[in-house]
Amino acid sequence: MVETTQNLVNTDLLRWIPLIPLLGSVVNLFFGRALGKQGAGLLACAAVGTSFALVVFVFSQLPSTGIFRDLLYTWIHSGSFQANLSFQVDALTTVMLLVVTGIGFLIHIYSLGYMGDDDDMVRFFIYLNLFIFFMLLLVMGDNLLLLFVGWEGVGLCSYLLIGFWYHDHNNTIAGNKAFIVNRIGDLGFIIGIFVLVAELGRQGIWTLDFVELQKHVKMLQPGTITLITFLLFIGATGKSAQIPLFVWLPDAMAGPTPVSALIHAATMVTAGVYMTARLHFLFALAPATLALIAVIGTATAFFAATIALTQNDIKKVLAYSTVSQLGYMFLAVGMGAFGAAIFHVFTHAFFKACLFLGSGSVIHALGGEQDMRKMGGLKAYMPKTYWTYVVATLAIAGVPFTAGFFSKDLILWQTFSHGATLLWAVGLVTAGMTAFYMFRQLFMVFHGECRADAHAKAHIHESPAIMTLPLIILAVGSVFTGWLGAPEYLWGSRWDHWLEPIFGAQAHHGAVSSELLVTFVTLAVVAVGIYLAYLMFGKAGALAGQRIGSGVLYELSLNKYYVDDIYDFIFVRPFTAAAKFFAGIVDPWVIDGAVNGVAATARGFSTIWRGLQTGNVQHYAAMFLVGVLALLAYYLGQLS
Amino acid sequence: MIGLHHYLILSAVIFAIGVIGVLIRRNLIVILMSIELMLNAVNLTFIAFSRYLGSTDGQVVVFFVMAVAAAEAVIGLAIIISVYRHRQSLDPQEMQLLKW
């Protein structure tokens, strides 16, 4: 790893980047009703837009070797330990900032149209702005503790937004599921932080500051580092939906579609990747953890892709596709190619947001229909949505000169050149499946006969400009953002150059010829995937909307490998059974029994003894006499 | 010859009568009188011992007891009158409200 000195500059500007969305959220919370739906929405958009403008300004000022820092105040000061409420921007942060505020801004604008009919639009924008605030906190925090605060905050907003339409009980359950599954990961995360603090503290270093950590992390034992990174990675599997904690993300599609685009595709779910990249100096010292991450990432990518092949819900396909793409990112992390991972985060944010917003546009046009078997032929009705969807689909499939081509190829090439041939092969097959299921979706939704019922068909319309404009911008981004990270045999990567001060120079193994070869193999597989999808769903007379197969494998895929049912059987049911046991038996009989038993005992004795208290003074006087005689007898007995 | 024993036995008998009166009579005035009996039984004991030991200490205490008994009688009678005005009765068995 290359040690680079980064010059630190203090600036008061940074604090406004997260604070403005927070302010927007607070103002809407108190005055949103007064402002009205449109006013509140515009205010929320303006807040994120201002943030975005600030980010662009900061980005233009920042040299790639520099760090901007803005210290608000010392948050925790205990003994030698100190944690600040302080923001930090370096090359890695700017990438995430541009994604969060830029795409966040577009999705805010889109939501103006998409949520325009919803009575609760004000609440929606409060949550959305709050989410942006927490996400910025996560990204800009200069220490692990602040990152964790943001981490929990986005989890909260995710929960709130998944259950946004709380009238439907299923949405609430989906929100709970997301929250609880994330808690499991967060437990690992926070224990990881504790171990890190304790072990560094044993060496006399009390800090969680990223810059300080990077200086001192070499003092730790290799075994300790492996443990810490493993625990932190558990947190990442929760937030970034990796095996075994990926089950919440598909259910999270219960939320409004802009939420799926913003939180569950572009930003929050990539927080795990960001965290590993932020702590790359730690992970780089733990080869065992990296190997595990690579395997988990690849496995997740593969299994999620196989599930996506057969799903019929337009958003479920995209959800599993997101899980699969996140798997790619972790594959890159596992290879130590943090730059490639962040690059895929960046490009994926564009095309997946575009896909989700496109699907939202479709759902909007069909009056809430999400089943792809009841779509088809929408190309003629909504050309703008169609063409942006095509571009984004090409990008995620990895067609040459789109963003996905550059980023996914980079990951596959890094894997191959590291000698992880098996992982590469699985990743390759996954790329083929990605192409297949995305084109299956494209054909099912936009081509062929329209299978919507007559009532829905009458209302199909292109979405208004406020929704299509973000789509177009994202579609443009889906192509051109990839050009930043072109391989050496084209025009070279500006991306690696920008992130080099953070991650050190990316090692370029292998020859250009083998890199080209790998690329062509990938392209061939992708082409096969697209062609198969065309044969089964696109060709005239193909059975669009029909099953792609039958048998055990098909059932497995359609039912998501029964993972939900297995978890339900292993964890949820025993847990609810135990809860019922404690609520029905232990609480009323043991706990209440003990408390009531004490009271009943006292009461029982008192019914016996209270008979003594007659209220008649003469009885009391008689008692005196008995007492006196008893004492007298006792002392006289002593004397004799 | 009348000795110390005779006084003490008399005193004990009077005291026992007083105690029994306090415990069993159903009239507050009689109870008060029984209390006076007990006090005077004690006084008799004091005097007897004072005489027997040739010391005046016992007689001093008796004066104290008589003063206290006078005060007690005054207050006791006042309470009894007050109670009678409220309840038209002096039977302690009817005054049992102060209980569980």
Confirm whether B43 is domain-assigned.
Answer: yes
CB atoms within 10 A of CB A445: 24
Q: What is the pLDDT of residue A600?
A: 94
Closest-CA distance of chain B to residue A638, Å: 22
Confirm whether B41 is domain-assigned.
Answer: yes
Mutate to test the interface with B, among A606, A609, A613, A617 (most CBs of B within 10 A): A617
- CATH code of the domain covering residue B39: 1.10.287.3510
Q: What is the pLDDT of residue A212?
A: 87
**Residues of chain A with C-beta less than 8 angstroms from the C-beta of B96:** 614-616
Q: What is the pLDDT of residue A548?
A: 64
* Percentage of chain A modeled with pLDDT above 70: 96
- Inform me whether the pLDDT recorded for A1 exceeds 50: no
- Inform me whether the pLDDT recorded for A22 exceeds 50: yes
Q: What is the pLDDT of residue A546?
A: 60
Confirm whether B84 is domain-assigned.
Answer: yes
Pick A489 or A72 by higher pLDDT: A72
Nearest CA in chain A to B94: A616
Q: What's the pLDDT tens digit per position in A259-306?
A: 999 998 889 999 999 999 999 999 999 999 999 999 999 999 999 999
What single string gives the DSSP state of each residue in A439-473? Answer: HHHHHHHHSS---S-HHHHHH--PPPHHHHHHHHH
CB A14 within 8 A of CB A68: yes
H-only helix segments in A217-262: 222-239, 248-251, 257-261
On average, the pLDDT of chain A sits at 89
Domain chopping of chain A, boundaries: 7-558, 583-639
**Residues of chain A with C-beta less than 8 angstroms from the C-beta of B21:** none
The three-point CA angle A628-A631-A636 to 5° equals 120
Q: What's the pLDDT tens digit per position in A519-563?
A: 999 999 999 999 988 888 877 666 555 666 667 788 888 888 888
The most confident of A174-183, A202-211, A493-502, by mean pLDDT: A174-183
Q: What is the pLDDT of residue A477?
A: 92
Q: Which among A610, A614, A622 has CB closest to B23? A: A622
Nearest CA in chain A to B22: A618
Nearest CA in chain A to B97: A615
Q: What's the pLDDT tens digit per position in A441-480?
A: 998 888 888 888 877 788 888 888 899 999 999 999 999 9
CA dihedral A236, A242, A248, A249 (to 10 degrees): 100
What token pair was written down for A258? 């802009």
Cβ separation of B23 and A613 shorter than 8 Å?
Answer: no
Q: How many domains does chain B have?
A: 1
Nearest CA in chain A to B20: A622
Contacts of A313 (CB under 8 A, 6+ apart): A253, A370, A371, A372
Q: What is the pLDDT of residue A6?
A: 60
Report, as an integer, the average pLDDT of A353-367: 91
Which residues of B touch chain A, with CB atoms under 8 Å apart? 19, 22-24, 31, 92-93, 95-100
**Residues of chain B with C-beta less than 8 angstroms from the C-beta of A618:** 22-24, 31, 92-93
Closest-CA distance of chain A to residue B22, Å: 7
Cβ separation of B92 and A617 shorter than 8 Å?
Answer: yes
Domain that holds residue B81: 27-91
Cβ separation of B23 and A610 shorter than 8 Å?
Answer: no
Omega cis (within 30) before A244: yes
Q: What is the pLDDT of residue A3?
A: 41
DSSP 8-state class, residue A241? T
**Residues of chain B with C-beta less than 8 angstroms from the C-beta of A622:** 23
Confidence of residue A378 (pLDDT cuts 50, 70, 90): confident
**ipTM surpassing 0.95:** no
Please state at what angle helix A465-480 crosses helix A104-114, rounded to 10 degrees.
Answer: 150
Closest-CA distance of chain A to residue B34, Å: 13
Distance CA B26, CA A501 (A): 106
Omega cis (within 30) before A588: no
Cβ separation of A615 and B93 shorter than 8 Å?
Answer: no
* Percentage of chain A modeled with pLDDT above 90: 59
- Inform me whether the pLDDT recorded for A4 exceeds 70: no
Nearest CA in chain B to A613: B99
Confidence of residue A489 (pLDDT cuts 50, 70, 90): confident
- Inform me whether the pLDDT recorded for A2 exceeds 50: no
Q: What's the pLDDT tens digit per position in A600-609?
A: 999 999 888 8
What token pair was written down for A639? 């004397």
Closest-CA distance of chain A to residue B96, Å: 4
Confidence of residue A53 (pLDDT cuts 50, 70, 90): very high
In the chain, the amino acid numbered B62 is V
Please state at what angle helix A465-480 crosses helix A403-417, rounded to 10 degrees.
Answer: 40
Confirm whether B19 is domain-assigned.
Answer: no
Q: What's the pLDDT tens digit per position in B26-57?
A: 999 999 999 999 999 999 999 999 999 999 99
